[in-house]
Amino acid sequence: MIKELDTVVLKHDIKEHNLEQGDVGAVVHCYPGEEFEVEFVTGEGTTAAVLTLKGEDIRPLGKGEILHAREITAA
């Protein structure tokens, strides 16, 4: 069960926001019906995107996973 402040992983690319499968975000709000407001930030803490996503778009970050950094470009 995903809840507020959980770290989640994007399950597919969202090209219009320069997000890729595997990008990591934080749940900032949970809506009824398996929808979540998720914030994605750069390494220096700048917001890259805040999106309302469905439960099928994200998954919880696993304990055995390692994070990976990548450069993003402007939309």
| Angle subtended at Cα 2 by Cα 4 and Cα 52, rounded to the nearest 5 degrees | 70
Phi, psi (degrees; rounded to nearest 5) at 57: -90, -20
Sign of CA dihedral 20, 63, 68, 72: positive
CB 39 within 8 A of CB 25: yes
Output the pTM of the full model.
0.93
- Chain mean pLDDT for the chain: 95
Local confidence band at 17 (pLDDT 50, 70, 90 cut-offs): very high
Q: Give residue-wise pLDDT tens across range 26-55.
A: 999 999 999 999 999 999 999 999 999 999
CB 72 within 8 A of CB 42: yes
Local confidence band at 75 (pLDDT 50, 70, 90 cut-offs): low
